[in-house]
Amino acid sequence: MPNIKSAKKRVLVNKTKNERNRAAKTAMKTQLKKFDSAIQQGTGIQEAYKATVVCLDKAVAKGILHKNTAARKKSALAKKVNAAAK
């Protein structure tokens, strides 16, 4: 543990932010798995796609994902949706 007061505060703040980021990442990964499940089952694909895109956009807004990473993931999702529609 640090001795300086500001360093102690940084440890606490970093711990809080780490937990928040981890929870958001877990939620994002869960949503991606739900989307993959919907693709496999062939039902509710559009709803799962919309929910997943919103989740990715929120991750970008929170600074968890880079915007280009989210764009790449959304593009891959769109390709899966289009392939499932055929």
pLDDT (tens digit per residue) in 40-59: 998 899 999 999 999 999 99
Mean pLDDT value across residues 57-63: 95
Distance in angstroms (rounded) separating the CA atoms of residues 43 and 56:
21
Domain boundaries, the chain: 5-85
Task: Tell me which architecture the domain covering 5-85 has in CATH.
Answer: Up-down Bundle (1.20)
Q: What pLDDT does residue 1 have? A: 78
Can you give the C-alpha Rg of the chain in angstroms? 17
- Best CA proximity match to 57, nearest among 83, 28, 81: 28
Q: For 1-27, write each residue's pLDDT tens digit.
A: 799 999 999 999 999 999 999 999 999
